[in-house]
Amino acid sequence: MPSSAAAHPDGPRPTPASDDTRRPTDDQARAARGASLSTVASMRRLVPYIRPVLPRILAGVLCALGASLAALAVPRVLQWLVNGPLTAGLATHDESGLWWGVVLVLVLGVAEAGLIAARRALILIPGTNIEARLRTELFTHLQDLPVAFHDRWPGGQLLSRSMSDLGLLRRWIAFGMLTLVVSSVTIVVGIGILVATGGVLGLIYLAGAIPMTVMAFTFSRRFRAVSRKSQDQAGDLATAVEESVHGIRVLKAFGRGRDALSSFARQADELRGTELDKAKIQSGLQAWLTAVPELTLGVSLVVGVWMVSEGRITVGALVAFFATAAVVNSPVIDLGMVLSMTLNARTAVDRYFDVMTTPNTLPDPAAPREVTDPHGELAFTGVHFRYGDAPAEGPGSTDVLDGVDLVLPPGKTVALVGLTGSGKSTLAMLVPRLYEVTGGSVSIDGVDVRDMTREHLRSLVGVAFEDATLFSASVRDNVLLGAPDDARTDADLARALDVAQAGFTYELPQGTSTTIGEEGMSLSGGQRQRIALARAIAARPRVLVLDDPLSALDVDTEAAIQARLADELEEITTLIVAHRPSTVALADLVAVLQDGRITAVGPHSELLATNEHYRYVISSLEDEFTPPPPDDVEVARQVARGEARAVVDEALDSGDATPSGRNGATAIGAWQASEGSER
Ligand SMILES: Nc1ncnc2c1ncn2[C@@H]1O[C@H](COP(=O)(O)OP(=O)(O)OP(=O)(O)O)[C@@H](O)[C@H]1O
């Protein structure tokens, strides 16, 4: 049994709420999140982001309002011109008064243009700042969320939320929000002026607002649903593109490119259909917003002409009325576009906060503990684990890990062996807390990994997986990604590359400064694995978790790495998931994982002699492996280590940083010879 497992200070721990990390794929789940909010409540969540740039936005709004007021003042000047200087000028043949009116209209026009330009300049920066901040926070949150979240959420959905949704929001902040405010104020003030100065004519115009308001409400309801649908479909489409790009080799190799295309075309067609629905709903509202004001103006014209002929209003008042109505008409017509923009932005906000409000189910503890003098004892105590989406009953309903007890003494290397699907990788991922145990505990030197901050845990644990992920950065940055601050020198880099037999990186066009990863040089699977292994070593961990990190290597390179690793691992406690029998040669002990538990622990030779299941597992893998002599694994390891080390040193002395081919074969030969001699 493990020596010590820290008791949680708060008593029993809650089971991780894996469900919280799921993507809301149905309407019910969406309703439970942002979609259940009103548009105002939904958009209010942007207030903390808008507040820091509020002065600039307000200045922009004031400029825009000033421009609208200048536009609304022009008809008043026209009224004064028609009723005053023009009428008087016609009677007295003195046109001097007219020029004052012309100058005033000109000044108002220039002021309007200047204010519009100032509005643009003021609003542009806040929009881009908010977008950048939202994007950075989303990225940080995504980094924070547990792996279980990323298992559930398709990459394209996250991509579309962080790119197109936030782009939509920026455009709304820079244009839509401002236009909404300014249009609303212009319409209210304009209609106020129309009613105040035009009397009955103003009331006729105002009556048009009733059908338009009803239409706007109906529109909002329908448009919101279809807007959400189209943005979700765009995310699904992005996922399809991402998957096909990642899997392009498989698709081409199996000649399934056309199938992928037809499924992509179907999704694209669905999105096109939704976009068309959106356009139809919007054009329906637009038709009303254009027709109703024109209709009311037509009625006002008939009534207005009659009123002038009856002497109830002046010609100047009629001209001013229609000039003001023309100024009000334009924001009324724009309202359809601004409303749809606002509803699209609201959907973007909902989708953004769907992710941002997903809680981190693996938070740092309130009172973290540290391993002050790490020795590297790794202990699993009664560990249970079940994936979040496991069914309640039937196949897959039982725990993947069903009470694992295992202690790795400091500095020892333990190979984890079991049939495929027995849970080896799952157990390995519990150590760096990529997943959370659902029962029991994992501890390092007696401190439960859940009681440490993630930063402290990462400083103790290094990992390398079979699937070697590299980032678009230099070899150096990739290798030193997790290295502590005091271990980032050229010598540290060289040591890690040497152990991982990644000397080939010096031969790349810019040496270790060469950019690799998605945007950089393509590397072979084995080369990628060696860099990932170097990264794990450069992190200088006390506990190393290796999940078949050598699977893509040829036998001689693997043997050379194993020899160097064996030296390196003497100080590090290592859990190595053995998917290949050759990996067992690295280990001091082997632990057998069977039916979710560790059923046997011991040296390879002992287990081979005493454990039937172990023999079965090894024989199922044996096609590719001849195990070392059962009676003395350690002797074989030491000989291999010594011989292969000599080959590596010789190769390095002769300038060949990557001993492979003949040299590597010699190392293998030495190992095999040792094997033979021991038999
Ligand atoms: N992200 C996941 N979500 C749900 N189930 C998973 C997930 N990853 C693995 N499983 C399931 O958990 C079980 C154990 O998987 P795991 O990868 O740990 O096995 P393994 O022993 O490492 O297998 P192999 O030797 O084939 O790599 C399998 O039944 C697998 O289907």
Assess whether 207 and 91 both reside in one domain. Answer: yes
Write down the pLDDT at residue 630: 40
- 47 with 93, same domain: the answer is yes
pLDDT at residue number 635: 40
Mutate to test the pocket of ligand 1, among 387, 467, 547, 584 (most ligand atoms within 8 A of CB): 387
Higher pLDDT, 29 or 188: 188
Closest ligand 1 atom, residue 418 Cα: 21
The residues facing 505 across adjacent strands are none
CA distances from 313 to 199, 304, 322 (A): 10, 8, 13
For ligand 1, what atom is nearest to the CA of residue 593? 21
User: What band does 166 get if pLDDT is binned at 50, 70 and 90?
Assistant: very high
Which residue carries 């000649």 as its tokens?
255
Answer yes or no: is 391 within a domain.
yes
Residue 522 host element (H or E): none
Q: Which atom of ligand 1 is nearest to the CA of 389?
A: 4
- CA-proximal residue: ligand 1, atom 3 (nearest): 387
Q: How far is the CA of 556 from the centre of ligand 1 (A)?
A: 29
Cα(422)–Cα(425) distance, integer angstroms: 9
Q: How far is the CA of 265 from the centre of ligand 1 (A)?
A: 33
- Ligand 1 centroid–CA 663 distance in Å is 37
**Is a pLDDT exceeding 50 seen at residue 478?**
yes
Domain that residue 120 falls in: 40-356
* Residue 452 domain-assigned (yes or no): yes
Ligand 1 centre to CA of 420 (Å) is: 8
Q: What is the pLDDT of residue 657?
A: 36
Helices 555-568 and 490-499 cross at an angle (nearest 10°) of 130
**Within 6 Å (CB) of ligand 1, which residues are found?**
151, 387, 389, 400, 418, 420-426, 579
36 three-class SS: helix
> Which of 21, 151, 386, 400 has the most ligand 1 atoms within 8 A of CB, as the residue to mutate?
400
- 439: Cβ–Cβ under 8 A, 6 or more apart, which residues? 382, 383, 384, 385, 399, 403
Which two three-digit tokens encode residue 306? 């009659």
Burial class (CB in 10 A: 0-12, 13-18, 19+), 142: middle
Strands 543-547 and 461-465: parallel
426 CA closest ligand 1 atom index: 18
Can you tell me which atom of ligand 1 is nearest the CA of 466? 27
pLDDT average, residue stretch 118-127: 86
Interface predicted TM-score (ipTM): 0.97
Mean pLDDT of 467-479: 88
| pLDDT > 50? residue 184 | yes
SS3 93: coil
Whether residue 139 has pLDDT greater than 80: yes
Instruction: Report the nearest atom of ligand 1 relative to the CA of 387.
Output: 4
Tell me if 421 is assigned to some domain: yes
Check whether residue 278 and residue 386 sit in a common domain: no
| Same-domain check for residues 93 and 224 | yes
CA of 424 to the centre of ligand 1 (A): 8
Per-residue pLDDT averaged across 384-401, rounded? Answer: 76
Closest residue by Cα to atom 10, ligand 1, is: 387
- Closest Cα to atom 16 of ligand 1: 423
Measuring from atom 28 of ligand 1, which residue has the nearest CA?
421
CB atoms within 10 A of CB 615: 14
Centroid of ligand 1 to alpha carbon of 167 (angstroms): 38
Residue 15: its pLDDT value, please? 41
Whether 585 and 646 share a structural domain: yes
Distance 122 CA to ligand 1 centre (A): 54
pLDDT score at 476: 94
Task: Tell me 545's DSSP state.
Answer: E
The stretch 536-554 carries a mean pLDDT of 85
Residue nearest to atom 7 of ligand 1 (CA): 387
Q: What is the CA radius of gyration of the chain?
A: 36
Domains of the chain: total: 2
**Residue 112 scores a pLDDT above 70:** yes
What is the residue with the minimal CA distance to atom 6 of ligand 1? 387
pLDDT at 496 over 70: yes
Whether the Cβ atoms of residue 317 and residue 303 lie closer than 8 Å to each other: no
- Answer yes or no: is 11 within a domain: no
Q: How confident is the model at residue 75 (pLDDT cuts 50, 70, 90)?
A: confident
> Counting beta carbons within 10 angstroms of the beta carbon of residue 243, is it exposed (0 to 12), middle (13 to 18) or buried (19 or more)?
middle
CA of 647 to the centre of ligand 1 (A): 38
Together in a domain, 344 and 397: no
Give the position of tokens 């000599």: 646
**Within this chain, do residues 445 and 322 fall inside the same structural domain, yes or no?**
no
| pLDDT score recorded for residue 12 | 40
Residues 324 and 430 in one domain: no
Residue 397 neighbours by CB distance under 10 Å = 10
Q: Residue 655 pLDDT more than 70?
A: no
Residue 401: beta bridge partners? Answer: 385
Mean pLDDT of 45-68: 90
Task: Please check whether residues 336 and 425 belong to one and the same domain.
Answer: no
Phi-psi region of 394 (alpha: psi -120 to 50; beta: other; left: phi over 0): left
Work out the average pLDDT over 171-175.
87
Cβ burial 292-301 (10 Å sphere, 16+ → b, else e): bbeebbeebb
521 DSSP assignment: B
Token reading at 149? 């979240």
Give yes or no for residue 623 having a pLDDT over 60: no
pLDDT-derived band at 453 (thresholds 50, 70, 90) equals very high
What spacing in Å lies between the alpha carbon of 387 and ligand 1's midpoint?
9
Cα–Cα distance for residue pair 258/260, rounded to 1 Å: 5
3, part of any domain: no
What is the residue with the minimal CA distance to atom 5 of ligand 1?
387
* CATH number where 300 lies: 1.20.1560.10
Which segment of 163-167, 216-220, 664-668 scores lowest on mean pLDDT? 664-668
Confidence of residue 107 (pLDDT cuts 50, 70, 90): very high
Sequence-ordered strand ranges (E) for 497-606: 515-516, 543-547, 573-577, 589-594, 597-602
The answer on pLDDT for 674 being more than 60 is no
Given a cut of 80, is residue 386 above it in pLDDT? yes
Question: Could you tell me the distance, in angstroms and rounded to a whole number, from the CA of residue 338 to the centre of ligand 1?
Answer: 49
Confidence of residue 391 (pLDDT cuts 50, 70, 90): low
Confidence band (pLDDT; 50, 70, 90) for 125? confident
Pocket test for ligand 1, best of 380, 422, 598, 613 (most atoms within 8 A of CB): 422
Amino acid at 574: T
Instruction: Please write the tens of the pLDDT for every residue from 329-358.
Output: 888 888 888 889 999 999 999 999 999 998
- Indicate whether 423 pLDDT > 90: yes
Instruction: Determine the pLDDT at residue 550.
Output: 78
Position 222 pLDDT exceeds 60:
yes
**pLDDT surpassing 60 at residue 646:** no
Instruction: Using the predicted structure, report yes or no on whether residue 1 has a pLDDT greater than 60.
Output: no
Do 301 and 392 fall within a single domain? no
Q: Whose CA is nearest to atom 9 of ligand 1?
A: 426
pLDDT mean over 637-643? 44
Domain with 499 in it: what CATH number? 3.40.50.300
| CA dihedral sign of residues 602, 606, 607, 610 | negative
Residue of 147, 425, 613 to mutate, ligand 1, most atoms within 8 A of C-beta? 425
- The answer on pLDDT for 128 being more than 60 is yes
Instruction: Tell how far the Cα of 378 is from the centroid of ligand 1, in angstroms.
Output: 22
**Contact at 8 Å (CB) between 499 and 564?**
yes
Q: Do the domain assignments include residue 497? A: yes
Pair 82, 192 in one domain = yes
Q: Is the pLDDT of residue 658 over 60?
A: no
Ligand 1: centre distance to CA 462 (Å): 21
Distance 426 CA to ligand 1 centre (A): 6
Closest Cα to atom 31 of ligand 1: 421
Q: 426, 467, 577: which to mutate for ligand 1, most atoms within 8 A of CB?
A: 426
Identify which of 91-95, 197-201, 529-533 has the greatest average pLDDT. 529-533
pLDDT in tens, 263-301: 788 889 999 999 999 999 988 888 888 888 888 888 988
Output the CA 335–ligand 1 centroid distance in Å: 54
Query: Are residues 348 and 384 both part of a single domain?
Result: no
Atom of ligand 1 nearest to the CA of 577: 22
- Give me the chain's average pLDDT, please: 80
pLDDT bucket at 444, cuts 50 / 70 / 90 = very high
Best probe residue, ligand 1, of 424, 434, 597 (max atoms within 8 Å of C-beta): 424
Cβ neighbours around 541 below 10 Å, total? 23
Q: Which of 340, 470, 406 lies closest to 1 in space, CA to CA?
A: 406
Q: Count, in order, helices (H) and strands (E) of the chain.
A: 26, 12
Neighbours of 668 (CB within 10 A): 21
pLDDT over threshold 60, residue 644 = no
Helix (H, G, I), strand (E, B) or coil at 474: strand
579 alpha carbon – ligand 1 mean position (Å) = 13
Residue located nearest, by CA, to atom 11 of ligand 1: 421
Q: How far apart are CA 391 and CA 393, in angstroms?
A: 5
Which one-letter DSSP state was computed for residue 15? P
Q: How confident is the model at residue 32, as a pLDDT? A: 47
What proportion of the chain, given as a percentage, has pLDDT over 90? 30
Which atom of ligand 1 lies closest to the CA of 151?
1
- Beta-bridge mates of residue 592: 417, 600
Question: 423 CA to middle of ligand 1, Å?
Answer: 6
pLDDT tens for 291-311 read 888 888 889 889 989 988 888
Residue 23 lies in a domain: no
- 245: pLDDT confidence band, cut at 50, 70 and 90? confident
- The predicted pLDDT at position 381 comes to 96
Decide: residue 259, CB within 10 A, 0-12 exposed, 13-18 middle, 19+ buried.
Answer: exposed
Q: Which residue, by CA, sits nearest to atom 24 of ligand 1? A: 420
- Per-residue model confidence (pLDDT) at position 597: 95
416: CA distance to ligand 1 center in Å? Answer: 14
Q: How far does residue 531's CA lie from ligand 1's centre (Å)?
A: 25
Is 9 within the bounds of a domain?
Answer: no
**pLDDT bracket for residue 90 (50, 70, 90):** low
Report phi then psi at 549, rounded to 5. -80, 0
Identify the pLDDT of residue 521.
61
